[in-house]
Amino acid sequence: MKIAVIGARGQLGSDLCTRLAGEVTGLDVPEFDVQQRDRVEAVLGEILPDVVVNCAALTNVDACEDGIDQALAVNALGAAHVARAAQRLGAAVLYISTDYVFGKDTRRRQPYTEDDPTGPVNVYGASKLAGEHLTAIASTRWTIVRTCGLYGLAGAAGKGGNFVETMLRLAGEDKPVRVVSDQRVSPTSTRELAGKIAELIQVGPCGLLHVAAPDSCSWHEFAQAILDRSRLGVSVEPISSDQYKTRAKRPALSALAGTRLADVGVTPCRPWSEMLYDYLDARRRRTAAQSTEVRQTP
């Protein structure tokens, strides 16, 4: 099977390129830009993939508020370019979306399922929701995967790292660590998600799916678990969203419940704590290996 992974240098894309079986071609900016329709069609036409995985996105939520045109150009219109090109080639397309397509229902107390009505509260979420719709319109062989709170060893290029790395950095600066406690999410590692996507590709196009940790926590709880597991002896101060102002509004609840994975024969993700512990262990091994390489360099 020939697979094209768009956004291959990102934290999910890099894990996908490692995890996927078959002939995998990684594509990313600046050589490959989903905003350039002719370029998308030409490059995919040369590769002739059986499946196109579209991880390309502007994921800096606050920057999207001030860059609406760019957010729509990449997250929405870019998704249409990819899906349309895949359709013309007879390839299936898998589009990576987000929990931020939800949030308008302020009374919500349970994680969102695939059947729940969407309602984004920021430009990023709206642009990704538009990307979902355009992907489904342009292709007859599509899968849309919504996920939540991604973190991976490659970091997120648009954010300069990820939440886990940010917490570890702040803890090392000997300053108070303050994290919002009134926003609940389903933190998911890109390594785990890449494995589930690999399974979904083998299943074939299967519509809309939520693929994220099956349980939820607040960002504060997640941060404290990161530092506790890392044995840094740092306490995280819980604060409210009102105390931590951001350019873009965040949902109070955007945790996801995946009700359709079992229907297509794919097991759910593991609990968020298990994924986090594996990530931190892998991070320690990588750091140790890098230190060894430095010592051995003449």
Asked whether the whole model's pTM tops 0.75, one would answer yes
pLDDT digits (tens, 9 = 90+) for 87-120: 999 999 999 999 999 999 999 999 999 999 999 9
pLDDT digits (tens, 9 = 90+) for 201-224: 999 999 999 999 999 999 999 999
Single-letter amino acid code for the residue at 246? T
Average pLDDT over residues 132-138: 98
- The DSSP element (H or E) to which 261 belongs, if any, is none
| Helix ranges restricted to H, the chain | 11-19, 37-47, 61-66, 68-71, 78-89, 123-138, 163-172, 190-203, 219-229, 272-296
**Alpha-carbon distances of 112 from 102, 121, 254, 292, rounded to whole Å:** 8, 15, 7, 45
User: Mean pLDDT in the chain?
Assistant: 95
pLDDT digits (tens, 9 = 90+) for 6-59: 999 999 999 999 999 899 999 999 999 999 999 999 999 999 999 999 999 999
Please list the active-site residues: 124
pLDDT greater at residue 168 or residue 161: 168
DSSP string, 126-172: HHHHHHHHHHHHH-SSEEEEEE-SEE-TT-BTTTTB-HHHHHHHHHH
Instruction: Domains for the chain: give ranges and CATH numbers.
Output: 2-296 (3.40.50.720)
